[in-house]
Structure 1
Amino acid sequence: MSNAANQRTLFQTWGAVVPQNKAGPSKKMSKKARLDAGRLQAALPRLQLQDLSSAKVWIYPTNYPIRQYQLKMSEAALFQNTLVCLPTGLGKTFIAAVVMYNFYRWYPSGKIVFMAPTKPLVAQQIEACYKVMGIPQAHMAELTGSTAAKQRQEVWKTKRVFFLTPQVMVNDLSRDTCPGQQVKCVVIDEAHKALGNHAYCQVIRQLGSQTKQFRILALSATPGETQRSSVQSVISNLLISHIELRSEESPDIQAHSHQRSVEKMVVPLGETLSAYQIRYLQVLEKFMSRLVQHRVMGHKDLRSLSKYQLIIAREQFRKNAPPHIKGPQQGMLEGDFALCISLYHGYELLMQMGLRSLFFYVQGVMDGSREMSRARNELQRTPTFMDLYQEMEVMFIKSADDPRNTFVYSHPKLEKLEEVVLQHFKKWTETVSTRVMIFSSFRESVQEIAAMLNRHTPLIRVMTFMGQASAGKGIKGFTQREQLEVVQRFRQGGFNTLVSTCVGEEGLDIGEVDLIVCFDAQKNPTRLVQRMGRTGRKRQGRIVVILAEGREERTYNQSQSNKRSVHKSIISNHGGFSMYVDSPRMLPDGVNPTLHMMHITCGQFDPGESSSRRSKGRRSSAEGRSSLIHPHNLGWCLCDRSPQY
């Protein structure tokens, strides 16, 4: 029989109802066959399989090039609760779409759920999944918290495939709006977030209290944080029974990813920044010495001390304060701990980001926007600090209004960054258009980098990209609609350089980027892996990590060592992790679907079709917002002062 005939026969069976013989299984069948048929028939109501014939095959699309690792991962995820760890840009969403489509076929009355941590990611993934497998948009819904609960209840009744944030899912399960017993497949994007009491964990717990018959597919660029314990937490919280992990070095990955070179550039602090470091440490010494004198902190080299060590020492002090410390004295030391922790945050900013980021942070303390009145009073009585603060104020505020003043490089890393980006554009623009993405963890640093590079227009056309959260008088974040607009304009070539906080690391399809520059090091290797995944998708990519000499360099080296250790332990027989053993069988005994490859034809995606949000009163995508994020408006706003992640 021809392949076309095979497909016609297959399509004709989909949606057909299994014939019901009122007399039960035929007497002409063998005893074993009659028992098998009876068992399968009895299982249909429990499993909501209205069409047994559809479960005889699982469909894999040929409308995209076939990659063996994607095929293998898709098959594994159909039959076990699976954690898929795959570097960014290598098709995690594709695997999710295949798995969702097959459960959509197998369970005509079941619900399929795709969860992503943010609304922009949700909006992106619904379109991406549609373009892979073509599930009818009339059957899909995008649910958000802005949709009225009563309206969401109606959507849960009428739709079959849902894209939403975990917070919405938690709320709807709590209200019995979501029919938990009908959920058959749950896809969890950015699954490494499933730690502690994260909304992902709450969803799985609540679903598990209503039904055991649902499949879980967890997706992540990395399996967890730097410790084995965090990987185990993800496995336990998401009921994972199987892990499919591929790293950059995996042979079956290398055939589908272009080479990515990673360069580590270590920059000395230089004389100027080293002088400011010494002056700032003198301020720290004053307040740290009181903690040491009262024996609630051991005397340590201030350069090697960390904010985390201070937090641990404070917790110990609260649990077991020395007997000689009483009443008011205890309150004073609590205040000293709080002040030192804040000052050490400023110290990290100084060493990693530079003097400008430090200034805008401490300015939030001094102008009252951070509501730290005790810290402000203490610092105002500290001449060493006030001299330093007033000097920075002249440098970054009073001189900012004078256009004759040149740009102040507040950290030597900025000059190295500028050099790397300029060299890249001068090399590439002679032959082909190119794009660059720069990551920095703090909003003030993002603004500073953008202001520096904006001086090189039109060779470098800069746009910033930040998350939603705003605190006090801090730099205003981008709404999720604005985030999507920035991504779209970057992909379309409206500008060629995107300077981003960590919001640009996860999930959102930024498009092809030739150069990634990381302006800071993170203890968590997950973030670097996600940053790296932004390049090397269609042609060779380059990643440059710019590090300050000393602690930042050591942090980077340690995170890379931890990442290799975690990957090695997983690859070696799941590394002794405790896996979930009760991963449910989602098809009746005796039904073992075989692979059927076929071309899937997808129509044109309509962004408004699947959205359950009200369209009334919406503005157009560009209306009223271009002034907020236009690259020409990257000048320093004097009210934008507090650094945020």
Structure 2
Amino acid sequence: MLKKELKLRLYQEHLLNAAKAHNTLVVLPTGLGKTLIALGLTVLRLRENPKSVVVFMAPTKPLVEQHKALFEDYLDVPMLVATGKIPPRERVEAYKKARVVFCTPQTLENDILTSRFNLSLVSLLIVDEAHRASDGEYAYNFVAEQYAQKSRYGNVLALSASPGHSKEKIKTICKNLRLDRVEVRGEDDPTVKPYVQEKKITPLIVTLPKELNAIKAHLEKAATIMLSGLVELDVLERTSNVYKRDLIKLQAHLQSVVARGEPNTRVFEAIKLAAGAHKVLHALELVQVNGIKPLQAYFDKLKKQRERTKSSQLLFSIPDFTFAFTKAFDTTSEHPKYDVLKDLIKKQDMAHSRIIIFVSLRETARELVKQLNEIKGVHASVFVGQKEGMTQKKQQDILEKFKHGEYNVLCSTSIGEEGIHVSDADIGVFFEPVSSALRSVQRKGRVGRTAFGRVYVLMTKGCIDERYYWISRHREKKMIETLESFNGEDLHQYALSDFTA
């Protein structure tokens, strides 16, 4: 069955032994071999149950292909990557021949619902990036539920580097995936520490230029006007420290009032103000974090909406907003992050460096690639998701070219954060901090997997960047403390009510 010897480190052996006896969530830092633990358990299950099947789920197709490639390096058994591109009838036959099936949970969910796949034969269900299961609607949860009901074996192995910073979230993941044990090995664990590559995290602080500061100030005034209107309507408590997520929750509440058939003039006015305030806060974030070109693109979008949406009409009736709008198209000032980043890259030996830059917006990624490719020795590429217009084949082609040095800089949106093995990236840059501990851990995990790595975090002084940076730091610390409190616990001891998110 094995083409070559599978050599596991001591901590991997310990985690494998735990996973043999329990449905286990294994939490291990990125780059330390979670997939090899899954491979080891696969070998054991297939040897014990020769007629059974192992299913390995991952959230994206490139990640699915990546796991299959590693398994193929070790295992000599029939394998299948199940995708919607294989016609249904052919997929049914392919399932019958495969011993290990790799797929996204959405594909498997569809094939379970249409009785194309028989879960009763599955001796092991592997769930990668298991933190996705904290979303009650995600397909992992349906598959896990069906597996618990139909499989004669019922062994689940869930993998994650960053399952969440709260006990409630981790318990929700365990409930949804039918897990009864959490096993954690952090970077300071004595069995893990010798294999951890050092990463140096360096914040790079920039100051917003005068012209962009003026746009920011007028947008803040426009936001205050709208938020004050919501306070007067008694649907919001304050005008300070209000964030986009607060307005999203408020909009959802107001829409539920309408859905219940209880609307009145006040509710519709509040919906308009909340939508407008959300748009202003988004514009504020763009000017502080991403710069003038993403802001111009967003303003163009709002201008086109002006005739169709009442909230956009309201925006253009506020003098402070129209000042910011006009100023954005008149200014020649750019966000200083671009120059700081270019100066940083100019100092690198680009013949031997591999750099991955994380951005939130694909527009920013494209602008960065355009500017960075003007630097001698830089060969940069955008790396975005399929929803953003890049096919799976193109994604894999870019990663291969990065691996072999045809590209030495990747400008990636969130697709590059989760699970994808970016070979030999030794420098990572956060174009902006993220408030999510999960995303921050995932980003840092792409860098320095096989050697010393450096991570630079670009931050605008006195702006939302600083807030996100410190929130993320706090949540990462809290996540480590929470995970340590779970380590090795038998989750059957919790009452079902304790799993409520």
TM-score by length of 2: 0.91
1:466 aligns with 2:379: no
Alignment RMSD (CA, Å): 2.6
Deviations 1:104-161 (A, max 9, x none): 2211111110001111111111111121x3232xx11110022222222122222221
Deviations 1:498-549 (A, max 9, x none): 1100100112221001110111122211111111112222221111112222
The match for 1:330 is: 267
Name the structure where helix makes up a greater proportion of residues. Answer: 2
Find the aligned partners of 1:569 and 1:67 in 2 and give their Cα distance: 25
Between the two proteins, the alignment pairs up a number of residues equal to 490
The match for 1:310 is: 247
1:411 aligns with 2:335: yes
**Equivalent residue for 1:481, pick from 377, 383, 393:** 393
Find the aligned partners of 2:3 and 2:398 in 1 and give their Cα distance: 34
Deviations 1:184-214 (A, max 9, x none): 1011111111121210001001122223522
1:549 aligns with 2:461: yes
Q: By how many angstroms is 1:174 displaced?
A: 1.1
Larger Rg: 1
Indicate the SS of the match to 1:255: helix
2:76 maps to amino acid: I
Indicate the SS of the match to 1:572: helix
1:170 aligns with 2:144: no
1:104 aligns with 2:42: no
* Residues 226, 524 of structure 1: 8 Å contact kept: no
1:182 maps to amino acid: L
Aligned counterparts, 1:554-593, within 5 A: 554-574=467-487, 578-579=491-492
1:513 maps to amino acid: A
Q: By how many angstroms is 1:298 displaced?
A: 2.7
* Residues 235, 579 of structure 1: 8 Å contact kept: no
2:143 maps to amino acid: V
The match for 1:507 is: 419
Aligned counterparts, 1:129-140, within 5 A: 129-131=71-73, 133-136=74-77, 139-140=78-79
**Aligned pair in 2 of structure 1 residues 334, 244: CA closer, same or farther (>3 Å)?**
same
Q: By how many angstroms is 1:180 displaced?
A: 1.3
Aligned counterparts, 1:340-489, within 5 A: 340-368=277-305, 373-394=309-330, 410-423=334-347, 425=348, 428-429=349-350, 433-456=352-375, 458-470=376-388, 477-489=389-401
**Aligned pair in 2 of structure 1 residues 101, 393: CA closer, same or farther (>3 Å)?**
same
**Equivalent residue for 1:519, pick from 411, 422, 431:** 431
> Could you say which structure has the greater relative contact order, defined with CA pairs below 8 angstroms and 6 or more residues apart?
1
Aligned counterparts, 1:205-244, within 5 A: 205-211=145-151, 213-222=153-162, 224-244=163-183
Indicate the SS of the match to 1:451: helix
Indicate the SS of the match to 1:553: helix
Q: By how many angstroms is 1:356 displaced?
A: 2.0
1:373 maps to amino acid: T
Aligned counterparts, 1:146-161, within 5 A: 146-161=85-100
1:493 aligns with 2:405: yes
* Residues 114, 188 of structure 1: 8 Å contact kept: yes
**Aligned pair in 2 of structure 1 residues 286, 316: CA closer, same or farther (>3 Å)?**
same
- Report the more deviating stretch, 142-151 or 558-567: 558-567
**Aligned pair in 2 of structure 1 residues 512, 337: CA closer, same or farther (>3 Å)?**
same
Indicate the SS of the match to 1:218: strand
* Residues 365, 375 of structure 1: 8 Å contact kept: no
1:290 maps to amino acid: G
Find the aligned partners of 2:298 and 2:107 in 1 and give their Cα distance: 34
Q: By how many angstroms is 1:466 displaced?
A: 0.5
Gap regions ≥5 residues in structure 2: 496-501
Find the aligned partners of 1:451 and 1:277 in 2 and give their Cα distance: 26
Find the aligned partners of 2:395 and 2:220 in 1 and give their Cα distance: 38
The match for 1:26 is: none
The match for 2:499 is: none
Q: By how many angstroms is 1:581 displaced?
A: 8.8
Indicate the SS of the match to 2:386: coil
Find the aligned partners of 1:360 and 1:575 in 2 and give their Cα distance: 50
- Report the more deviating stretch, 326-335 or 490-499: 326-335
* Residues 381, 409 of structure 2: 8 Å contact kept: yes
Indicate the SS of the match to 1:283: helix
**Equivalent residue for 1:186, pick from 120, 125, 144:** 125
Deviations 1:43-62 (A, max 9, x none): xxxxxxxxxxxxxxxx9964
Deviations 1:354-382 (A, max 9, x none): 222222123222224x9953233333434
Deviations 1:455-477 (A, max 9, x none): 21x3222111111114xxxxxx2
Deviations 1:478-504 (A, max 9, x none): 111111111111111002111100100
Find the aligned partners of 2:401 and 2:308 in 1 and give their Cα distance: 40
TM-score by length of 1: 0.71
Find the aligned partners of 1:364 and 1:580 in 2 and give their Cα distance: 53
Q: By how many angstroms is 1:308 displaced?
A: 1.5
* Residues 352, 548 of structure 1: 8 Å contact kept: yes
The match for 1:67 is: 9
**Aligned pair in 2 of structure 1 residues 92, 576: CA closer, same or farther (>3 Å)?**
closer
Find the aligned partners of 1:161 and 1:371 in 2 and give their Cα distance: 54
**Aligned pair in 2 of structure 1 residues 177, 558: CA closer, same or farther (>3 Å)?**
same
Find the aligned partners of 2:193 and 2:400 in 1 and give their Cα distance: 28
Q: Share of identical aligned residues, percent?
A: 29
* Residues 199, 454 of structure 2: 8 Å contact kept: yes
Find the aligned partners of 1:337 and 1:204 in 2 and give their Cα distance: 38
The match for 2:498 is: none
1:217 maps to amino acid: L
1:284 aligns with 2:284: no
Indicate the SS of the match to 2:325: helix
Indicate the SS of the match to 1:455: coil
1:203 maps to amino acid: V
